[in-house]
Amino acid sequence: MAAVPTTDHRLSTPEDGRLPPAVGPRTTDPSRTMDSLVEVQFDGLPGPTHHFGGLSHGNLASTGHAGFRSRPRAAARQGLAKMRAVLALGVVQALLPPLMRPDLDFLRDCGFAGNERAMLLGAEAEAPRLLRWAQSSAAMWTANCATVAPGIDSDGTTRLVVANLVATAHRQLEAAPRAAMLRRILRDVPAVAVIDALPALAALSDEGAANHCRLAAGEYGHPGVHLFVHGRAEGLAADRLPSRFPARQQRDASAAVARLLALPAPRVLHARQDPRAIDAGAFHNDVVMVADRDRALLHDTGAQIAFCPSSNLFLGSGLFDWRAAEAAGVAVSVAGALSAALHGAPPGVATEDLVLARVLAASGDAFITGMIVAIFVAFRPHWLATYTDRLYLPRS
C-alpha cells in the first residue's frame, strides 16, 4: 500500500523516464499534506505465462507445487475478485498489469537468436531453466515490488524504492521493467518519486515491502515509524543464520533503502528475523506479521482486545473495525452484555444479577447518549473517530 499526498506539485521526469535517486519532484511541507493522504492498495495479476516452475528456493509453496498444472485465466479472475472485495470495503484499489512475458530480451542476452518462436524453441531445448525464468509471472506478488514511504514521514515527497530481488534469478528480471511501469502509472501523481533498485549485488539483496512495515498511531495523516526486517547482516555469526534456506534480506540493503526514502533516523527501526522462521519457510516477514497503523504492535505483543458494543454506543466512540483487527492478527473477543449472552455470566455471578446491574448502570445515560450518537451519525459522522460511511452506509 502507498499513502499518496494530493498537492499541486507535479512529478517531472527526463524523456527516457528514468529518475535517478538525486532527482525528484519539489518537496512540500509535510504539514500541508497531513489531511490529504490517500491510501492506495496495489495488486498484481498473474500473466498468461503463469506456471508452477518451482523457482523460489526457500518458498515451500513454490517448490512443493513444482510441475503442477497452472490455470492462468482462473488465477487472474481470482485476483480480480479479490480486488473487487477490497474495493467494496472502501479502499482505493489500483492494478499493476503483468510484465511482458516471455522476456525475449533476456533470452536474447543469453545467446538465443531469431524470431520469437525460434528463441523459445531454442531455450526449451537447450536451457529449459532459463525459459522458466523468462516466463515467470511472479511479478504478481506486489509486496516485493517496492518499498514505500509517504511524504508525511520525510519532506513531503512520497518515495518508492524498487526492489532489486537479487535473491532469486527469475525475480531479478523484474526490477527495471517494474520501475518503468511505476513511473508511467504515477507520472501525474503529485509529489511522488520512483527510485531505481539498489545495485544488483548479493550484499544488497532487497525484497521490497515484504520485509518492511510502517507503524503509526491514529489515521494515516500522522507520521509513522518504519520497521525494516532483515535476515542477514555483515559479521553475523553462522549459528545466528538460517541453516536450511537462505536469508533474502540484507541489513545493508534495508539501511540503504531507508536512506533513499529520506527517512530521519528516529523514524527507522531495524530488526533481525529469527532464523528458525526462515528455515520454516517464512522467508519474508510479511508471512510472520502485517502492519496497519498501530495494529502490528498489538499482534507482536500478543495483546487482546475486549470489544463491548454497548460501551462504544454509550461513550459515542464509534464502531469498532473488527475485520481490520482480525486481518492484522489481533485477537478480539466480545465483552459486556454481548459476552454474557454468548458465553454466560462470569463464575460466581448469577445471570439475573448481571442483567440487573447492566440495566441499572446503563439506564441513566443510555437514552441521551444514544440520541446524541444517532444525531452525530446522521449529521457529523466524522466526529465519531471510527465511523465510515463507505463501510456502514454503503450506497446500493
Residue 144: inside a domain, yes or no?
A: yes
**47-71 pLDDT per residue, tens:** 999 998 888 888 777 888 888 899 9
Domain boundaries, position 315: 304-392
Cis peptide bond prior to 102, omega within 30° of 0: yes
- The answer to the question of residue 111 being in a domain is no
Identify the residue whose cell numbers are 439475573: 352
The residue out of 275, 301, 327 marking a domain boundary is 301
Closest CA to 133 of 186, 169, 185: 169
pLDDT digits (tens, 9 = 90+) for 354-377: 666 666 666 655 667 777 777 877
* Three-class DSSP category at 92: strand
Final residue before a domain boundary, out of 260, 280, 301: 301
**Domain co-membership, 224 together with 84:** yes
Residue 268, C-alpha cell as written in the block: 527507522
Within the chain, strands assigned E span: 2-5, 37-44, 92-96, 146-149, 158-162, 192-195, 212-215, 225-230, 268-272, 304-307, 331-334
Give backbone dihedrals phi and psi of 194, rounded to 5 degrees, phi first.
-100, 125
pTM for this predicted structure: 0.67
* Same domain, yes or no: 349 and 263: no
**Residue 28 domain-assigned (yes or no):** no
DSSP secondary structure letters along 159-174: EEEE---TTSHHHHTT
Whole-number percent of the chain with pLDDT over 70: 67
CA distance 103 to 49: 11
| Domain co-membership, 141 together with 227 | yes
Distances (CA, A) of 116 to 121, 138, 172: 9, 21, 22
Q: Return mean pLDDT, the chain.
A: 78
Judgement on whether residues 140 and 242 belong to the same structural domain of the protein = yes
- 180 pLDDT exceeds 90? yes
| Domain identity same for 324 and 211 | no
Q: 1 pLDDT band (50/70/90 cuts)?
A: very low
Output the CA–CA distances (angstroms, integers) from residue 156 to 6, 31, 122, in the order listed.
10, 8, 50
- Which cell goes with 236? 553475523
Whether residue 327 is found in the same domain as residue 371: yes
278 in the same domain as 370: no
Distance separating alpha carbons of residues 11 and 24, to the nearest angstrom:
7
Residues 92 and 201 in one domain: yes
262-290 per-position pLDDT tens digit? 999 999 999 888 888 888 877 788 777 77
Top pLDDT among 293 and 346 is at 293
Q: For residue 297, give the CATH number of its domain.
A: 3.75.10.20
Give the relative orientation of helices 351-379 and 336-343 as an angle to the nearest 10 degrees.
130
Q: So what's the pLDDT on residue 160?
A: 96
Q: Are residues 213 and 314 in the same domain?
A: no
Of 267, 301, 335, the residue that ends a domain is: 301
Which tops the pLDDT comparison, 150 or 312?
150
Residue 130, domain member (yes or no): no
Contact 266, 259 (CB under 8 A): no
Within-domain flag for 368: yes
Alpha-carbon span 107 to 155, nearest angstrom = 42
Please check whether residue 4 lies inside any domain of the structure.
Answer: no
Q: Are residues 241 and 296 in the same domain?
A: yes
Residues 223 and 343 in one domain: no
| pLDDT beyond 60 at 316 | no
Is the same domain home to 308 and 297? no
Domains held by the chain: number = 2
According to DSSP, the β-strands at 37-44 and 331-334 are unpaired
Average pLDDT over residues 8-32: 35
Residue 11 located in a structural domain:
no
Of residues 217, 216, 250, 218, the one with CA closest to residue 234: 250
In a domain, 349, yes or no: yes
CA–CA distance, 258 with 266 (Å, rounded to integer): 11
CA gap 246, 288 in Å, rounded: 17
| DSSP sequence for 205-216 | ---GGGGEEEE-
Residue 388 has pLDDT above 60, yes or no: no
353-373 b/e (C-beta count within 10 Å ≥ 16 → b): ebeeeeeeebeeeeeeeeeeb
